[in-house]
Structure formats: C-alpha cells, structure tokens
Structure 1
Amino acid sequence: MPNTHRALARAPYLAIAAAAILAVSAQAEAANLGFLNDTPITYMKQRDLQALNNAAQVALNTKQDGESLDWDNKGAGNTVPINGTVTPENSFESGGLKCRKITLVAHAKGQTQTWTPVACKQSDGKWKLKKQ
C-alpha cells in the first residue's frame, strides 16, 4: 500500500485520542490553565496519539464494559515513556449507533491524566467521538 494510502487509512484511528486531547488543550489554553503544563498530554507526539488511538479502537471492538486494555508508546520514537489504559464503560445507543463512554488514561513523568469521551461506531465500522 503506498504511503499516502496508509496515511489515509490511519486517519480515522487518530480521531478519538486526537480530538479528546485537542479539546483538553484548547480548553486549557482558552481558560489559561497553566497547571496542565507537564501533564502527559504535553509529552504526546503524533505517533503516541496513534498508539493510543489504535488501543482505543481495539478496546472498543473487543473489551466488555469495565474491562481495560493496557497501551504504551514503545516504538513510537518518543524519548518520554507514556503508558496507560483504555476502558470502555457503559454501552448505549444514540441516533441508531452503538456508542460507548470510554476512559482514556495516560501516565508520563509521574503524572496521570484521564479523559472520558463518548465514541460511536459508524457505518464504516470505525469508532468516532460523539460531539458533545
């Protein structure tokens, strides 16, 4: 598969964590929440987000509510080790789509950060964040 096709194929997987992280970052900047400095999100790079998104897609497709999947950024090229868990929570239907609240946890440099977005399974089989 050519690199451009691979990049396009990965794009939906990046949506979950990237959207959650961007939302937190935007809120932090808008609210001048300097206390978010040196939290796991500040150490995450594109390939770290990809590792988190891959774990989220797997967890949403294979784990029962409350069952966690461990993830880490090994092999992502980041000198900062980042790891955590992805835990699908309550499943429900919304607008005819299967949705799940998901808890994303990241640990880096002694700090822990948690996000709890809702993801819904699209007709193409990919999970995407539900707009709140």
Structure 2
Amino acid sequence: MPIRDRALAHASVRTIAAAALVTVSGAASAANLGFLNNTPITYMKQRDLQALNDAAQIALNTKQDGESLDWDNKGAGNTVPINGTVTPENSFEENGVKCRKITLVANAKGQTQTWTPVACKAGDGKWKLKKQ
C-alpha cells in the first residue's frame, strides 16, 4: 500500500474512534488520492492523531460553541511540526444524545486542512463521529 494511502487509512481509523477527521471508504481508498499529497493529513502519524484526538475530546467537553482550543504535536516524536485548532460549533440533541458540529484545523509545512464532522457523546462518555 503506498505511503499516502496507508497514512490516510490510518488517520481515518483514529478519527472515527476519536471524533476527529476523515472517514475513508473502500471506494475512496481505491481511488487516486494524489490531491492529498503534501497536506497535513499525509504528515500525521499515530501520536499526532492521538494529540488531535485528545484536543478534540477536551474541546468537546469544555468549550462553548465558537470557542477554539489550540493543539499541536509537540512531544509526539514527529519531525514535522503540526498544529491547529479544534472548535465546537453547533450543539444539539438527536434522539436524546448530545451532538456537536466541530471544526478541526491542521497546519503543516505551509498547508492547512479543515474538517467539519459531527460528533456525538457515546454512552461511555467519549465523543465519536456521527456516521453520515
């Protein structure tokens, strides 16, 4: 599996589990993903994704709508500095479950990526991406 496809698939697993970034379907994995070259997601490693996950959990639990939390990958062991923000946007209830739209921003090597998934609070207290 090419490095860029492996990195994207790896990122999507962490993102789904942590209310974070991108969901990649089998069709997307098989597609030409060259447009993702040199974007922040291609530089992110497991520990970077964990830092983003941790920031997302904190922001979803503590920040008001529109209030941002800064995050970075310092201490994650990646030679590429990555930073960004996590901003909960719209809080709402759906079928008795608390959900929030969240804006995730990552910056690396002069490039910026933004994702806007919806996360809902699971029974275990963790925020997880809502399936679209």
Q: Same fold (TM over 0.5)?
A: yes
Query: How high is the sequence identity, in percent, across the aligned residues?
Result: 83
- For residues 37 and 13 of structure 1, do their structure 2 counterparts lie closer, same or farther at Cα, with a shift above 3 Å needed? closer
Aligned partner of 2:18 in structure 1 is: 15
Relative to the length of structure 1, the TM-score reads 0.81
Aligned partner of 2:103 in structure 1 is: 103
Matching of residues 1-132 of structure 1 within 5 Å: 14-17=17-20, 20-21=21-22, 23=23, 29-132=29-132
- The CA deviation at 1:14 is 4.8
Where in structure 1 are there 5+ consecutive unaligned residues? 1-10
- The CA deviation at 1:116 is 0.5
Higher helix share: 1
Cα distance in 2 for residues equivalent to 1:30 and 1:12: 19
Cα distance in 1 for residues equivalent to 2:43 and 2:113: 12
- The CA deviation at 1:33 is 3.7
Where in structure 2 are there 5+ consecutive unaligned residues? 1-13
Contact 1:119 1:130 in 2 (8 A): yes
Secondary structure in 1 aligned to 2:81? Answer: coil
Code of the residue aligned with 1:46 in structure 2: it is Q
- For residues 118 and 13 of structure 1, do their structure 2 counterparts lie closer, same or farther at Cα, with a shift above 3 Å needed? closer
Contact 1:14 1:49 in 2 (8 A): no
